[in-house]
Amino acid sequence: MPSSIQVQQSITIGQATIIESPSPTSQFAVVFKDDGWLGYFYAQDLTRKDNHTCDGLHIYNANSFPDADKPAMLQIAWSEDGTKAVLVINRYPHAVFDFSARRGYCRTNFPAPNPNWTSHSHEWDDSAIDLFR
């Protein structure tokens, strides 16, 4: 499935940052957040009334990210149908949300998934990238 980059931004690992990316064609959105210590990627369903956040994926600990002292290029791409989002940092995919399958994938497999959203783990699977080809 073809994809398109919706966000491309230089970030500094370990510097407080929030980057939002709504799906271009659906009610979903993703949010990248670096709180100065940790990087997380969140799935959101904007039709939910109380709390839009469905699930969250740990991306990094700022103090152990390779080359954290250099600017990093963050990209968020969405699938053509607007139900899948990928987080890429420095040309390396770190996380995927597949909203249609209610599943998140990340390299750290942390934290435990929200059981109200999915029954799948957050374990990384290289085939998740195929969702964007």
Question: In angstroms, rounded to a whole number, what is the distance separating the alpha carbons of residues 111 and 106?
Answer: 10
pTM score: 0.96
- Give the number of other CB atoms < 10 A from CB of residue 77: 20
Count of domains observed in the chain: 1
Domain of residue 73, residue span: 3-132
- 1 sits in which H/E element: none
Question: What parts of the chain have a pLDDT lower than 70?
Answer: 1
